[in-house]
Amino acid sequence: MDAPAPVTRAVSGRYSVEQYIDLVRQGVLQPDDRVELLEGVIVVMSPKNPWHDTAVHCVADTLRRVVGDRAAIRSQATLLLEPGSAPEPDVAVVAGSITDYVARHPTTALLVVECADASLPQDRLSKSRMYAAAGISEYWIVSRRDDGVEVFRDPDVTTAVYRTRFLAVRGERIVPVACAGDVAVDELLPPKS
């Protein structure tokens, strides 16, 4: 059996989305490897824990109910953001239906949600900049530390910054920019223990 062709890295020392996908095709990266491509760097994802898993299910279930069949809800699935990011957001609301993505990953989202426990600094800094640069209109961080949802809106793709940011806490509701309906913050957060 022939050895896989080596993948050459970009001159900057960072991987492109295409090179990252080639690593998966060649078997260098396995489906159960907990990594994602963030701004050209292959990053190990934070370990899962019960709070995180529960938060992901709460968010996905709530958004499925609110969004209905007007868009697709993907959970911990790849989102391709050229040229150098292939994150696996905890939840993403994408246009169309789930079956639209049988042969390809989505390249944008209406809403991206990360559930943050240990990953809060990365979600606030790296991922918010990456999603803003990609022009994703709304990004939420379901934060265990803040017991609320940080809402980022109005991306400036040039500076890779969201112009609007606020914290929604228990008892409040959020009206997503690109989706009909509103969401109770309490439904997005796991119950307090």
Could you read off the pLDDT of 41-91 as tens digits, one per residue? 999 888 789 999 999 999 999 999 999 999 999 999 999 998 899 999 999
pLDDT value at residue 154: 97
**pLDDT the model gives residue 120:** 86
- Output the 3-class SS for the chain: CCCCCCCCCCCCCCCCHHHHHHHHHCCCCCCCCCEEEECCEEEECCCCCHHHHHHHHHHHHHHHHHHCCCCEEEECCCCCECCCEECCCCEEEECCCHHHHCCCCCCCCCEEEEEECCCHHHHHHHHHHHHHHCCCCEEEEEECCCCEEEEEEEEECCCCEEEEEEEEECCCEECCCCCCCCEEHHHHCCCCC
Q: Which of 172, 170, 173 is nearest to 189 (CA)?
A: 170
Look at residue 18 and tell me if it is in a domain: no
* Residue stretches of the chain with pLDDT short of 50: 1-11
Residue 38 covered by a domain: no
- What is the rounded CA–CA span in Å between residue 61 and residue 86? 24
4 inside domain: no
C-alpha–C-alpha distance, residues 117 and 48, integer Å: 9
Residue 39 forms part of a structural domain: no
Print the domain residue range for 146. Answer: 50-188
- Domain assignment present for residue 179? The answer is yes
- Is residue 138 assigned to a domain? yes
Angle 39-139-136 (CA atoms, 0-180°, nearest 5)? 65
Which residues neighbour 159 within 8 Å (Cβ) at sequence distance 6 or greater?
A: 132
Residue 30 lies in a domain: no
Please tell me the total count of domains within the chain.
Answer: 1
Gyration radius from the chain CA atoms:
17
What pLDDT, on a 0 to 100 scale, did the predictor assign at position 12? 60
pLDDT for the residue numbered 190 = 95
- What CATH code is carried by the domain that includes residue 112? 3.90.1570.10
Question: Quick one: pLDDT at residue 180?
Answer: 75
User: Considering the domain boundaries, does residue 11 fall inside one?
Assistant: no
